[in-house]
Amino acid sequence: MTLRPLLLSLALLAPAAPARATAAHAPPARHAAAAVRSRVFSIQGLDGGDTGDALAASFRTLPEVAAASFDLYSAELTLVADARLTDARVQAVVAGAGAGLRAVPGPGQGRYLPPLRYPPEADVVVLTNHGAAVGPLERLRAPDRTTIFDFYADWCIACRPMDAHVRDFLRTHRGVAVRKLNLARWDSPLARELGPGLTALPHLVVFTPDGRRHEFDGDTWEQVARVMRWR
């Protein structure tokens, strides 16, 4: 046998070299993408949009979560995560973030805490609960009485303490009327009707009995009471 056929025979008998580990163990790109899916959870018991944003931020710290976002108006949490993040774990994380918080799998069931209840004898009227335009406020004020137009939103966390202050004010001040207006969205007809004067919530418009108008945009109750000399 010549040298060349001998080398060829030895080459055929030699075991094949193992494939590179990195190539053999790298999963196909489409399999990795399929392991991640988007899910929506309705969040209930929220006191404001800031709490929803904080929830989304906390989920973004988990290694199995690729993305997390919170929708202010629907109170829904969208999570892009792999299968390690079960529905039960999402519900446990949300419940542990605050008393009364609950995650319900699926859209359309998100809810904020309801507004405070006012004393039944108080002159309180809800003019709109979904951001509808109401027309000139001068025509809606109670004649010969102080009238507080309270613009708020269910997702406005700063509106809740203002609501409590207004309610307490009615308990000690007779002859005051309150008109509640739920802005609902920043682009609602009511928001457009208010125009550039609306830059923050809570937003109060106060008419004195003689018809003078005062506006408070994002102010605290203490600031309102000081300007109106209610202290």
CATH (domain of 214): 3.40.30.10
- Residue 130 CA to residue 42 CA, distance in Å, equals 20
Query: 226 phi and psi, to 5 degrees?
Result: -70, -45
Q: How far is CA 156 from the centre of its chain?
A: 9
Domain count, the chain: 2
Residue 5 in this model has a pLDDT that exceeds 60:
no
Task: Determine, yes or no, domain membership for 29.
Answer: no
If you average pLDDT over residues 151-179, what whole number do you get?
94
**Do 84 and 136 reside in the same domain of the chain?**
no
pLDDT for 229: 86
Domain ranges, residue 157: 123-228
Please answer whether residues 26 and 91 qualify as being in contact, where contact means their C-beta atoms are separated by less than 8 angstroms.
no
Mean pLDDT for 6-27 is: 45
Report the candidate in 113, 154, 159 with the shortest Cα–Cα distance to residue 130: 154
